[in-house]
């Protein structure tokens, strides 16, 4: 069995998975969203204090499995250093006490493995990763063969939803709030620019669109409910059109057989529908994680750890490091 630990941002999560069958035996997550909502975004110091309270509680719930562990998988990058340290410190203590190897898991790779919980992997796979911290297209050939084909030049897709929600005073996290509001709005009342529409660059950018929304919000203050919904709908339409236009260029080059969308923002229904159409157009199969595994969780960390364990990709408990950034 392998223990999974996740604390890269505002979710404390612990799980136990069986290595041979990949079965998830225990999985618990405590989200801190309500605590951070008061401040309109994640407060790192508060997040780390909450992890310090919640992770040991979750570990205690996993106590019946601890004697059967063969390894520990823990997220060590990328993420908030002060929150990553909480999970890593717990992994270090357990590793030393029980003589267990540690698989240090890249959080972005863990999101890819959210597709394979209790399943075998599918490679090669073209992956669109959309989360609060990242917007990337990845060409994935295996556990340690991942190539970045496109990334964001500034804000990420999920982050732009969070910021637009904050501008309109709607709360945190903005993704589900904007998505729900957009359903009630007219996406054509306002004409927002699709980022890098006329650029040949295969990259993402959300800061220009975010600023265009800021100007719209200023212009229409105080916002009535109708205008809020129309802005949300226009923003979401432009944000997704950008994802689609750049991904389409990559589809033209790679012609993938298998394509997946992962990360917290992959829960967005309009994103899912848009990419289902793109896949149908190119004869690709669309893979999506179960909704419960789209946002940060330990199950995907342990699943990635199972492949790391098989390759003996271990990190020393005394020298494991955390980092806000990570490459493949
Ligand atoms: O993967 P995740 O849980 O954490 C990070 O690794 O960042 O992703 C969280 C991000 C937040 O920015 C949140 O607003 C966004 O995913 N998100 C969404 C939706 N649900 C969550 N964005 C757009 N539409 C959604 N339905
Ligand atoms: Zn994430």
How far is residue 312's CA from residue 290's CA, in Å, rounded to a whole number? 28
pLDDT exceeds 90 at position 168: yes
Q: Which two tokens stand for residue 291?
A: 């909704």
Number of helices (H) and strands (E) in the chain: give both, helices first.
10, 10
CA–centroid distance, 120 to ligand 1, in Å, is: 25
Q: How far is the CA of 173 from the centre of ligand 1 (A)?
A: 7
In the chain, which residue ranges form alpha helices assigned H by DSSP?
33-37, 44-61, 81-98, 107-113, 157-167, 174-184, 207-219, 225-254, 269-282, 298-310
Average pLDDT of the chain to the nearest whole number: 97
* Main-chain phi, psi angles of 300, to 5 degrees: -70, -30
Q: Where are the alpha helices (DSSP H) in 99-193?
A: 107-113, 157-167, 174-184
Q: What is the mean pLDDT of residues 242-268?
A: 97
What pLDDT was estimated at residue 260?
98
* Ligand 1 proximal residues by C-beta, below 6 Å: 9, 131-133, 158-159, 161-162, 173-176, 179, 263-265, 267-268, 295-296
Residue 86 pLDDT class (50, 70, 90 cuts): very high
The tokens describing 243, both together, are: 């994802």
224-241 pLDDT tens trace: 999 999 999 999 999 999
> Contact, 244 vs 96, CB < 8 A?
no
Does residue 327 carry a pLDDT above 90? no
Whether this prediction's pTM lies above 0.75 is answered by yes
> Which residues, chain by chain, have CB under 5 Å from ion ligand 2?
131, 296
Closest Cα partner for 9 from 130, 149, 136, 107?
107
Task: Return the best residue to mutate from 132, 162, 290 for the ligand 1 pocket (most ligand atoms within 8 A of CB).
Answer: 132
pLDDT for 197: 96
Per-residue pLDDT at 94? 98
- Distance between Cα 67 and ligand 1 center (Å): 35
Angle between helix axes 207-219 and 157-167 (nearest 10 degrees) is 10
Please say if the pLDDT value at position 189 is more than 90. yes
Q: In degrees rounded to 5, what are phi and psi of residue 287?
A: -110, 135
Structure tokens at 187: 């996406």
> For residue 111, which atom of ligand 1 is closest to its CA?
1
Q: Which two three-digit tokens encode residue 214?
A: 């800021």
Euclidean distance between CA atoms 139 and 136, whole angstroms: 10
Identify the sign of the CA torsion 300, 305, 310, 311: positive
CA–CA distance, 155 with 316 (Å, rounded to integer): 34
Which tens digits make up the pLDDT trace of 201-232? 999 999 999 999 999 999 999 999 999 999 99
Both structure tokens of 130: 């959309």
Buried b / exposed e along 41-65 (16+ C-beta atoms within 10 A): bbbeebbbbbbbebbeebbeebeeb
SS3 259: strand
The number of the ligand nearest the C-alpha atom of 36 reads 1
Span 166-181, average pLDDT? 95
pLDDT (0 to 100) of residue 211 = 97
């Amino acid at each position: 069995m392998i223990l999974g630990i996740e604390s890269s941002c505002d979710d404390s999560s612990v799980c136990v998975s069986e290595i041979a069958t990949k079965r998830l035996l225990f999985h618990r997550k405590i989200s801190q969203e309500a605590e951070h909502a008061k401040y309109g975004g994640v407060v790192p110091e508060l997040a780390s204090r909450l992890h310090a309270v919640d992770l040991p509680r979750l570990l205690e719930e996993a106590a019946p499995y601890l004697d059967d562990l063969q390894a520990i998988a823990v997220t060590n990058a990328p993420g908030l250093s002060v929150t990553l340290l909480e999970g890593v410190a717990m992994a270090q203590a357990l590793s030393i006490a029980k003589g267990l190897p540690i698989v240090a898991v890249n959080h972005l790779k863990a999101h890819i493995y959210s597709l394979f919980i209790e399943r075998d992997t599918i490679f090669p796979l073209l992956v669109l990763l959309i989360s609060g911290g990242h917007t990337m297209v990845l060409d994935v050939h295996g556990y340690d063969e991942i190539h970045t084909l496109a990334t964001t030049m500034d804000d990420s897709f999920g982050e732009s939803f969070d910021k637009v929600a904050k501008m309109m005073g709607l709360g945190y996290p903005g993704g589900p709030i904007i998505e729900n509001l957009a359903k009630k709005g007219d996406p054509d009342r306002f004409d927002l620019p699709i980022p890098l529409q006329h650029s040949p660059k295969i990259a993402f950018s959300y800061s220009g669109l975010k600023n265009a929304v800021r100007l719209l919000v200023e212009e229409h203050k105080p916002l009535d409910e109708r205008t809020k919904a129309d802005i949300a709908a226009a923003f979401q339409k432009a944000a997704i059109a950008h994802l689609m236009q750049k991904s389409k260029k990559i589809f033209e080059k790679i012609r993938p057989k298998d394509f997946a969308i992962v990360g917290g923002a992959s829960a967005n229904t309009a994103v899912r529908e848009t990419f289902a159409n793109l896949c149908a157009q190119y004869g690709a199969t669309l893979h999506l994680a179960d909704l419960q595994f789209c946002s940060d969780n330990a199950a995907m960390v342990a699943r990635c750890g199972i492949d790391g364990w098989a390759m003996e990709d271990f990190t020393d408990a005394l020298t494991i490091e955390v980092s806000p950034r990570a490459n493949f």
